[in-house]
Amino acid sequence: MIHRPLEETARALLSSAGSASLSQLWRVGVTLATHIALRRMIPPSELGPWYWLEPFFLLLSLFRDLGVPAHVVRDRDRPYGDFLKLQLTWGLAFIAALFVAAPLLARLYHDPAPPMTAMIRALCAFLVVQGLGAVPLIYFEAELKVVRTIPAELVRNLVFAVTALSLAATGHGIWSPVLAHLAGGTVFAAMLWWAAWPDRRRGLMPLTFGKVRFWTLAKIGLPLMVMALLEQAVLKLDPLILALMFSSEVVGAAGLSVFAVFFFSRLLADPIGRALYPALVRYVESPRRAFEAYRSATLLLASLSTPTCFFLFVNAEAAALLLGGREWLGAADYLRVLSLVPLVRPFSMFGLEYLLTRHMDRLLIVYTAANLVSLGGLGLLLSSGPLGPLGMAAAGYLPLGMLALAWGLHRLSPEGLGPMTRQLLGLYAAAAVLFLPIAAWVHHPWWRVGLSCLAGLGVLGYAWRRFGVGATRFLRGDV
């Protein structure tokens, strides 16, 4: 591994984060437009299963990887060859077992109408190509060369959009996103391997293999897998829990709501995190710079997600109409209850990456397990009562694991956590002052939308005035 000066790492972080953000902007934009169109061609009762399949297979992909990707990034030797060996041995065996067990897995979905067994088996093929593509993807992320993944990202999402819309227009219903996902993933993996194929002349991805490192990797990666599994389960919990008890229409409404509420998280959290994590690894001997990187990334994302959350709270019906059409207006109540949930979890935006680089694995397992137990248990309890499906959305406001995460952040930087918390509370207060009067006094729906847009710009202006310049200086390597 090449050791870079801190200023060079900051510049590489800016370049990699910018490239990843551009790619993610395209990806989420295309995905947003595609799903808006799909919802107008496929009703909630038919599209609902996709909102269960997508997070379910995300969790299965973590079992396939055994936590190795995160370890490869923080391992100074970067054993990409052993990661490939893991995919070709354990990965293929695990996916074959899923294929056989598909009828049993389909029983986790309460509504018996969709062809769940067949769709699970089709997405097993996606797990194969995604796992193979993860090897060069991790290489580009670890070396802060995310810019080289942009062509593959662009083509993948174009393939997804064209395939999904073509199939939906010809009456293929729920199979449209399933087959489009498989087609896009295959193209993405092939293009990444083409870009990173080991070549001595170009000096690209080294595929080194060790005699025992494969098993060592799996052993080291297991705690990371558990943490990632628990964290993602918490983020995707709503449709997974609701699918155990309610119809596809309810699952579809929850899926639209989760998509809307965490839109900016999808837009920026992944690309910033992909660039931030290797930078935090390089800042391991500079705790002040490491916390500043974490703080800057968190405040940047909070500055965008906060006005989005308040906008959805004030304009839930208009958002459901825009994102899905009239058949999806039933999602408005769930969307309004869920809309402010991200505001109670600000430290978790990049807290996992930050504590991982400090090897606080046990604390992270406690944090994620406490969140899963509290949110899942409370969600099941409330959803089974008079609140019905809305109980699952309400449960999101009590993530007890956040207490463990806050304690870990305090241990790492007691002098930095307090000011950061005050900055976040100030941001929330500014948003409340601008948005809540609109909710209380403006009743015409489109006047509410217009005034909410102005309020959102006001929140962004406040955020830039308070901490935008500091974040820019940090990313330029000036602090």
**pLDDT for residue 11 is more than 70:** no
**pLDDT for residue 201 is more than 60:** no
What is the pLDDT, as a whole number, of residue 473?
58
0.95 surpassed by pTM: no
Q: Report d(CA 103, CA 117) in Å as an integer.
A: 5
**pLDDT for residue 224 is more than 80:** no
Q: Considering only residues 19 and 268, tell me which one the structure prediction assigns the higher pLDDT.
A: 268
**pLDDT for residue 474 is more than 70:** no
pLDDT confidence of 434, banded at 50, 70, 90?
Answer: very high
Task: Tell me the per-residue pLDDT of 331-354, one tens digit each, with 9 for 90 and over.
Answer: 999 999 999 999 998 888 888 778
What is the pLDDT, as a whole number, of residue 460?
93
**pLDDT for residue 271 is more than 70:** no
Two structure tokens written together for 164: 């999904």
State percent of the chain over pLDDT 70: 86
Two structure tokens written together for 425: 């509370």
Task: Tell me the per-residue pLDDT of 131-141, one tens digit each, with 9 for 90 and over.
Answer: 999 988 888 87
pLDDT confidence of 467, banded at 50, 70, 90?
Answer: confident
Say what angle helices 44-65 and 6-41 make with each other, to 10 degrees.
150
Q: Considering only residues 414 and 10, tell me which one the structure prediction assigns the higher pLDDT.
A: 414
Two structure tokens written together for 254: 């929850």
DSSP for 205-259 reads: ------SSHHHHHHHHHHHHHHHHHHHHHHHTHHHHHHTTTS-HHHHHHHHHHHH
Burial 274-297, CB ≥16 within 10 A → b, else e: bbbbbbbbbbeeeeebbbbbbbbb
**pLDDT for residue 422 is more than 90:** yes
Q: Considering only residues 382 and 27, tell me which one the structure prediction assigns the higher pLDDT.
A: 382
The percent helix, strand, coil of the chain (3-state, each to 5) is 80, 0, 20
The mean pLDDT of the chain is 84
State percent of the chain over pLDDT 90: 45
What is the pLDDT, as a whole number, of residue 335?
95
pLDDT confidence of 202, banded at 50, 70, 90?
Answer: low
pLDDT confidence of 479, banded at 50, 70, 90?
Answer: very low
Lowest mean pLDDT segment, chosen from 87-101, 219-233, 416-430, 465-479: 465-479
CA-based nearest residue to 409, from 446, 368, 360: 360
**pLDDT for residue 286 is more than 80:** no
What is the pLDDT, as a whole number, of residue 214?
63
CA-based nearest residue to 174, from 109, 118, 236: 118
Give me the count of residues in the chain. Answer: 479
What is the pLDDT, as a whole number, of residue 203?
55
Maximum C-alpha span of the chain: 69
pLDDT confidence of 1, banded at 50, 70, 90?
Answer: very low
Lowest mean pLDDT segment, chosen from 68-72, 186-190, 427-431: 68-72
